[in-house]
Amino acid sequence: MRGELKRHCYRMMGGVQDAEDCVQETLLRGWREFASLREEAAGRSWLYSIATRVCLDAQRTSRRRQTLFGPSLEEMEPGLEPWIEPWPGGIAPSDPERRQDIRLAFVSLLHGLSPRARAMLLLHDGVGMTSAEAAAALGISVAAARSALQRARTALPPQDVTASDEAPIEAYVEAWNAGDVDALVSLLHRDIVMTMPPWHRTFTGRDEVARFMTGVWPRYSGFRAMAVIANGQPAAAVYTRRDDGPHLPHSLHVLAGSGQVGEIVLYAPPLGPSLFAFFDLPPTI
């Protein structure tokens, strides 16, 4: 169950390393409390209950993740709120949690909820607990649990967890490898939205994204891109080179769209390169 527990903690915490830390604590608490498990069949819900409490405890005791940056080259202001990190991979169809959404947009929406409402939604709608079971897991009344669940469902739009993104990832990677900014721009939907968490800047529309890309492109003497999967979505890991140096990790681009790229969540330096290790990507090319 370690993999699905880690994804659950990721949905709760929004960060890959935070999720790993919470899973380790979950397994430790589970080992210590194993005698309290009366029915083996209840083991899955029991561990999810522990994991959820671990995450809630971590959110209460830890300070917000601090921004890693000084002023950026584009003079964008960093945000003070935590950002959602990309998750390496997706969910296999055979996994017990296949009904649960891990797409980046959904996890971001989850983090607009209060921790309790987020926990209730994940335990009830995702894990399949009853309101009474989820209430017991969180140590609250059934009435409070139902209220939190209702607030969560009202705040979030309906999610189609079977939807698949068909953004043209192969062509996107080829455009970067060829250093062809015009080819890249041609892949973008006219109403594309590009964000660069945790910077407070959103690029809206093909023309605005194109101006940004054409401004950044000449700073580098070469690019190498690799296709990966992030949050079950197509993504590209982009390496850059200056002068005659090696290609070094630069940014991770998570794409969404059908036929054209309708959304890019671009994790830029210095955050972007720090994420490459989670995806088992080489440190240089």
Q: Which residues of the chain have pLDDT under 70?
A: 38-41, 62-82, 93-100, 158-165
Tell me the pLDDT tens digit for each residue of 259-270: 999 999 999 888
User: Which token pair is 25?
Assistant: 């604590």
Tell me the pLDDT tens digit for each residue of 36-90: 776 665 778 889 999 999 999 998 876 544 444 444 444 445 554 567 999 999 8
- For residues 15-40, one letter each, b for 16 or more C-beta atoms within 10 angstroms of the residue's C-beta and e for the rest, the string is bbebbebbbebbbebbeeeeeeeeee
Angle formed at CA 124 by CA 120 and CA 126, multiple of 5 degrees: 105
Which residue type sits at 244?
D
Which residue type sits at 252?
L
pTM for the full predicted model: 0.86
The closest of 47, 50, 57 to 18, measured between CA atoms, is: 57
Task: Assess contact for 237 and 220: CB atoms under 8 A.
Answer: no
Tell me the pLDDT tens digit for each residue of 159-175: 655 455 688 999 999 99
d(CA 128, CA 20): 23
Task: Assess contact for 211 and 250: CB atoms under 8 A.
Answer: no
Task: Assess contact for 198 and 79: CB atoms under 8 A.
Answer: yes
Question: Residue 115's CB: how many other CB atoms inside 10 A?
Answer: 18
